[in-house]
């Protein structure tokens, strides 16, 4: 099924960029959301196959920004949204033993406002433009299950995102809308670039028996499948994509 209208948050780089490209390659129209990466978003849209794509901007921590962005995306895509990919997120360093109380609160607020509440608000707004056959795919993380000791707010936000997705999978099934999640481990992106440099990078790659980390295109392929008409029965799924680096 091609020609769907797809909104991908955090699509200017990394996993989101690969996801947007994968949908466009199969003939879908894509709205590329960014917060402050207009140049990267425009460079992506210039290289996408097909037509009818759009760039939209919002700070996901701002509820009114979110509402305006989603409404604009729906309008630019031709009057609706068939697929929502909640990919945008922040990863903030904030270990409990090394943070002041003020830093601790700020890290949690900023992380949850974007990774959880922002995604929830985008979903609420997108649902107003979605009909039966719609798909919602959330990009979670391996950290939701194994823990993130140096970034506990991130791990908690992704665990909560999984719970949100599963709750909505039940709530939206009567409307013919399926909801699923992917939970990647380390992926080669701008966000992880510093972590993957030697010598720490060697240890990270060794976490997987394949001796490497994921490519963004591998995550994108799973997202495209979960958003497909064939994947309705996967609603409620949280799909691990970590190269057997963490098994549960």
Q: Are 5 and 81 spatial neighbours (Cβ–Cβ below 8 Å)?
A: yes
Q: List the catalytic residue out of 101, 154, 225, 246.
A: 154
Per the listing, tokens 């985008």 go with: 122
Annotated active-site residue 154? The verdict is yes
> How do 29-34 and 54-57 pair as beta strands?
parallel
Question: What are the C-alpha distances in Å from 247 to residues 75, 83, 215?
Answer: 42, 29, 19
Question: How far apart are the C-alpha atoms of 31 and 34, rounded to whole Å?
Answer: 10
Question: How far apart are the C-alpha atoms of 34 and 8, rounded to whole Å?
Answer: 9
Q: Are 31 and 53 spatial neighbours (Cβ–Cβ below 8 Å)?
A: yes
Question: How far apart are the C-alpha atoms of 177 and 172, rounded to whole Å?
Answer: 5
DSSP secondary structure code for residue 136 in this structure: E
Adjacent-strand bridge partners of 31: 7, 54
Q: Nearest to residue 78, comparing CAs of 23, 6, 179, 10?
A: 6
Residues marked as catalytic: 154
């Amino acid at each position: 099924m091609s020609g769907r209208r797809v909104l991908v948050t955090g699509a200017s780089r990394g996993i989101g960029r690969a996801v947007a490209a994968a949908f466009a390659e199969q003939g879908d129209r894509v709205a590329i959301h960014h917060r402050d990466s207009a140049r990267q978003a425009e460079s992506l849209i210039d290289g996408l196959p097909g037509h009818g794509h759009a760039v939209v901007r919002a700070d996901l921590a701002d509820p009114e920004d979110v509402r305006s962005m989603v409404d604009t995306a729906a309008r630019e895509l031709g009057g609706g949204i068939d697929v929502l990919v909640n990919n945008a997120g922040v990863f903030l360093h904030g270990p409990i033993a090394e943070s002041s109380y003020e830093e601790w609160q700020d890290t949690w607020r900023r992380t949850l406002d974007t990774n959880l509440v922002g995604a929830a608000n985008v979903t609420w707004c997108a649902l107003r433009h979605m009909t039966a056959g719609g798909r919602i795919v959330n990009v979670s993380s391996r950290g939701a299950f194994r823990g993130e000791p140096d970034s506990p707010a991130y791990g908690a936000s992704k665990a909560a995102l999984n719970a949100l997705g599963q709750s909505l999978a039940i709530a939206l099934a009567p409307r013919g809308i399926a909801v699923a999640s992917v939970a990647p481990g380390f992926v080669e992106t701008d966000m992880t670039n510093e972590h993957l440099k030697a010598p720490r990078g060697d240890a990270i790659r060794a976490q997987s028996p394949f001796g490497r980390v994921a490519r963004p295109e591998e995550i994108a392929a799973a997202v495209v499948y979960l958003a497909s008409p064939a994947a309705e029965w996967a609603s409620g799924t949280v799909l691990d994509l970590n190269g057997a680096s963490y098994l549960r």
